[in-house]
Amino acid sequence: MKTFEQLKQKYHYSAILLRQLVITDFKIRYKNSVLGYVWTLIRPLALFAILYVVFVMFLRVGDAVPHYAVYLLLGIILWNYFVEVTNNGVSAIVGKGDMLCKLAFPRYVVVVSGSFSALISLMINLMVFTFFMIINGVPFTWNILWLIPLIIELFIFSLSIAFILSALYVRFRDINYIWEVVLQAGFYATPILYPITLVVAMSPLISKIMILNPIAQIMQDARHLIITQDAVTIGGIYGNTFARLIPLAIVIILALISSVYFKKKSPSFAEEI
Amino acid sequence: MNEDIAISVKNVSKNFKLPHEKADSIKSLFVNPFNKSRNKFEVQHALRNISFDIPKGEFFGIVGRNGSGKSTLLKIIAGIYQPNKGSISVNGKLVPFIELGVGFNPQLTGRENVYLNGALLGFSEKEVDKKYDSIVDFAEIERFMDQKLKNYSSGMQVRLAFSVATILAESDILLIDEVLAVGDADFQRKCFEYFKKLKKHKKTVVFVSHDMSAVREFCDRAILIESSEIIAEGSVDTVASQYSRLFLDIDEETRSNQSSERWGDQRASFRRVKITSGKVLNDSSQTIIFEAEIIANKDIDSLVTGSSITTATGEELCGTNTQHRKVKIEHIKKGEVMKIVWEYPNIFSDGRYTINVTLHGPNGGVVAEWWEGAESFVVRREEKSPFPTTPDIKLQLIRKVS
């Protein structure tokens, strides 16, 4: 049995380490680049600009949805966060191999630190988003606070996947290629740049499956709450508000599986790298 | 667990599975799921049934040759590897100082690296703040603290890492792995001073090293690990002499294919090198005498020939050549045979030594022949010494009662 004191000491160490790793990560990320942190903003905004020109101005995908530009931007920002966390996750353990072989520290810290760095970028991006939202004339309401629980859900979901990927990548070095493909497919399988109503019109079944994806559910909920009531949520598609519990359950189950799996695998990381 | 024991290692075994073909791509899983050879692996026993206790305040040495498993043992104590069998209990705060400068990032400044490395050792920013100045003082690189680490010389990096570890790590138990292998003489002296301080403050230290003189100087007790098992345990002297015996045994085993290397342009060459005294020396009254026969394959203006003695671990101890001794060998005709007899006083410590002979132009000119490991001899002494040489040092003891 561990005493309370010992537990406190253990987490004290993790907390110190986590803080330093996040700081370091942020310091190093844009070292030697002229624009530095501005890149945190430019990257999602550039993607947004491209998609906006192609899909909104030429293909006129979002004509039916009011404030479609902000609608698209929010989707991209949330998706970008997921991509960043999981990509960090893939290389988190292997990338810190040198450290792992020389020091006994709680392994999960390196994965968590990557997701906190991404969270900081997400916050910066959301501030820019709010700015665009106001320019675009979306009425500002306190509904925006709903973003907090939604981001917590997204945080847990992304982190769970990052845990699994990081542990798998130690053994199977093709995970990064596989994950690249999965992310590309995921970008189109998630209603980021098209309104999900398009899918509902084509095949209600497919839309029902699509919205079970926690990211899709989070994205639609966020859009519904802060941009426009026209954004259909999972409740709207199933005709039942409690349908929201399914993606939520997926997140919780995934979180449990990933922590058990990571815990089981982590003692042997140092040898297998 | 007994309160006086700092580290207790019980029946620890560690195996590494070395797959014949590592299934590290998913393709191999899919392409050939029933191929049994995929599951074949070799089990390498890194450690077998290791047990020992380290009392609090002891300076404990782990010695052994390369690949004997000593670093694996240290990593198990540090918690980096998990043992397959057995258990480790640690009583007190342990700093896993397996290697210096873990996590150092070349893109960060010296200052930032101090905080990062400190965090890895478990110290918060506030704690590092308090000791920051003494860290910088100790490393003696004040001017460079705000420069990126990549612009540091490797010696400066080591100094910085060492001072972070030593100033911060005020824990009860320290694990040290071959830190002394790096750094210049000045830095090594610093390390030794630090070890003395640790000893004075009665810290528990586990020290892994090849360097028997350091082990003899600092350790209270040691174990010797050879092919994954403890083969000697106890006082440093017994362990150290067992350790050097290990090299003697090996040398005798591999006698026939003893590594000897010869090169040169062969304008003159050694016909043979032969020890004419005994090949085993016991005390300082004896000398080692060997003769080298040289034949000139061409007419040569001037030649210098030399010899030197190397320890089993490859350290050159002493030597000289004809030029240094002002012996001139000039105007040599093709086909001429010369014999040179060398006599070295037995200043050597217990161990095996090899003889190297050289033949070259004056002032380090073109090598005619260089022959490393031409012969070897053994010194077995009663008197054990931590020093590489044991010259006949006279001493006098005068006691007076006033």
**Do B25 and A174 make contact, defined as CB atoms within 8 angstroms?**
yes
> Which residues does chain A have within 8 Å of residue B96's beta carbon, measured at their own beta carbons?
102-104
**Under 8 Å between Cβ of A176 and A183:** no
Considering only CB atoms, A20 lies closest to which of B75, B78, B115, namely B115
Chain A positions in Cβ-Cβ contact with residue B112 (cut-off 8 Å): 24, 27
Question: How would you classify the pairing of strands B5-19 and B41-55?
Answer: antiparallel
Of the residues A2, A11, A13, A105, the best mutation for testing chain B's interface (the one with the most B CB atoms within 10 Å of its CB) is A105
Q: How confident is the model at residue B248 (pLDDT cuts 50, 70, 90)?
A: low
> Contact B58/B236 with Cβ under 8 angstroms?
no
Q: Which two tokens stand for residue B334?
A: 């093709």
Cβ-Cβ pairs closer than 8 A, A with B, add up to 74
d(CA A129, CA A125): 6
pLDDT at residue A166, rounded to an integer:
95
Per-residue pLDDT of B169-199, as tens digits, reads 767 788 888 765 566 777 778 778 888 888 8
Distance CA A269, CA B356 (A): 47
CB contacts of A31 in chain B (<8 Å) are 107
Is residue B14 a contact partner of residue B86, using CB atoms and an 8 Å limit?
no
Domain ranges of chain B: 5-250, 264-379
- Rounded to the nearest 10°, the torsion over CA A47, A49, A54, A55 is 80
Q: Which of A93-107, A179-193, B306-320 has the highest mean predicted lDDT (pLDDT)?
A: A179-193
Q: Is the pLDDT of residue B12 over 70?
A: yes
State the fold for domain B264-379.
Answer: Coagulation Factor XIII; Chain A, domain 1 (2.70.50)
User: Which residue on chain A is closest to B104 by alpha carbon?
Assistant: A99
CA atoms B107, B111, B112, B116: torsion sign: positive
Using the CB atoms, write b or e for A62-80: b if 16+ within 10 Å. Answer: beebbbbbbbbbbbbbbbb
pLDDT at B36: 53
pLDDT tens-digit profile of A218-241? 999 999 999 988 888 999 899 888
Burial class (CB in 10 A: 0-12, 13-18, 19+), A252: middle
Cβ neighbours of A115 (radius 10 Å): 23
B125 to chain A: which residues are within 8 Å by CB? 16, 19-20
pLDDT given for residue A86 in this prediction: 96
Q: Could you tell me whether strands B204-208 and B59-64 are parallel, antiparallel, or unpaired per DSSP bridges?
A: parallel
Residue with the larger pLDDT of the pair B97 and B231: B231
Burial (CB < 10 A; 0-12, 13-18, 19+), residue B8, is middle
Give the contacts of A83 (CB within 8 A, at least 6 positions apart).
A183
Residue B51 reports pLDDT greater than 70: yes
The answer to whether B5 touches B54, Cβ cutoff 8 Å, is yes
pLDDT score of A151? 96
User: What is the token pair recorded at A263?
Assistant: 């815990």
pLDDT score, position B35: 56
Taking an 8 Å cut-off on Cβ atoms, the answer to whether B116 and A267 are in contact is: no
The answer, for A101 touching chain B at a CB cutoff of 8 Å, is yes
A138: DSSP letter? P
Least Cα distance to B291 among B244, B238, B253, B344 occurs for B344
Interchain contact, B123 vs A16, CB within 8 Å:
yes
Residues 6+ apart with CB under 8 A from A46: none
A204 in contact with chain B, both atoms CB, cutoff 8 A: no
- B115 at the A interface (CB within 8 A)? yes
How does pLDDT run across A26-65, given as a tens digit for each residue?
888 877 778 878 888 888 889 889 988 988 888 888 778 8
Its ipTM equals 0.82
Band of pLDDT at residue B256, cut at 50, 70 and 90: very low
Chain A CA closest to residue B28: A172
Residue A2 sits at the chain B interface (C-beta within 8 Å): no
Structure tokens given for A84: 């960043």
Are the beta carbons of B82 and A19 separated by less than 8 Å? no
Give the separation between CA B387 and CA B349, rounded to whole angstroms.
7
Q: Is B24's Cβ below 8 Å from some Cβ in A?
A: yes
Using the Cβ of B41 and the Cβ atoms of chain A, whether some distance falls under 8 Å is answered with no
| Closest CA–CA distance from residue B103 to any residue of chain A (Å) | 6
Residue of B nearest to A30 (CA): B107
Provide the mean pLDDT of chain B.
Answer: 83
Q: What is the mean pLDDT of residues B97-115?
A: 83
CA dist list (Å): B70 to A260, B47, B284: 32, 9, 35
CA distance B69 to B63: 10
pLDDT at A215: 96
Task: Kindly report the nearest CA distance between residue A54 and chain B, in angstroms.
Answer: 37
Q: Which residues on chain A are in Cβ contact (under 8 Å) with B123? A: 16
A 11-40 → B contacts, CB under 8 A = 12-13, 16-17, 19-21, 24, 27-28, 31-32
> Could B122 and A271 be called an inter-chain contact, meaning their C-beta atoms sit closer than 8 Å?
no
Distance CA B344, CA A48 (A): 83
Chain A: nearest CA to B107, how far in angstroms? 7
Kindly state the average pLDDT of the residues A237-262: 94
The amino acid that residue B209 corresponds to is: S
Strands (E), B28-81: 41-55, 59-64
Statement: residue B253 has pLDDT above 60: no
Burial B286-312 (b: 16+ CB within 10 A, else e): eebebebebebeeebeebbbbbbbbbb
A102/B80 touch (CB, cutoff 8 Å), yes or no: yes
- pLDDT above 60 for B307: yes
What per-residue confidence (pLDDT) applies to A148? 94
Which fold would CATH assign to domain B5-250? Rossmann fold (3.40.50)
The pLDDT of residue A99 is 86
CB A166 within 8 A of CB A262: yes
Residue with tokens 């002002």: B326
pLDDT tens string A66-88? 888 899 999 999 999 999 999 99
Residue B22 has pLDDT above 60, yes or no: no
Dihedral of alpha carbons A52, A58, A59, A65, sign: positive
Residue with tokens 């290697």: B99
For residue B120, the chain A residues in CB contact (below 8 A) are 17, 20, 99, 103, 105
Q: Which of B117-121, B252-256, B334-338 holds the top average pLDDT?
A: B334-338
pLDDT recorded at residue B365: 83
Q: How far is A3 from chain B (nearest CA, A)?
A: 14
Domains B5-250 and B264-379 share a fold: no
Residue A185 clears pLDDT 50, i.e. is over it: yes
Report the candidate in A193, A187, A226, A190 with the shortest Cα–Cα distance to residue A206.
Answer: A190
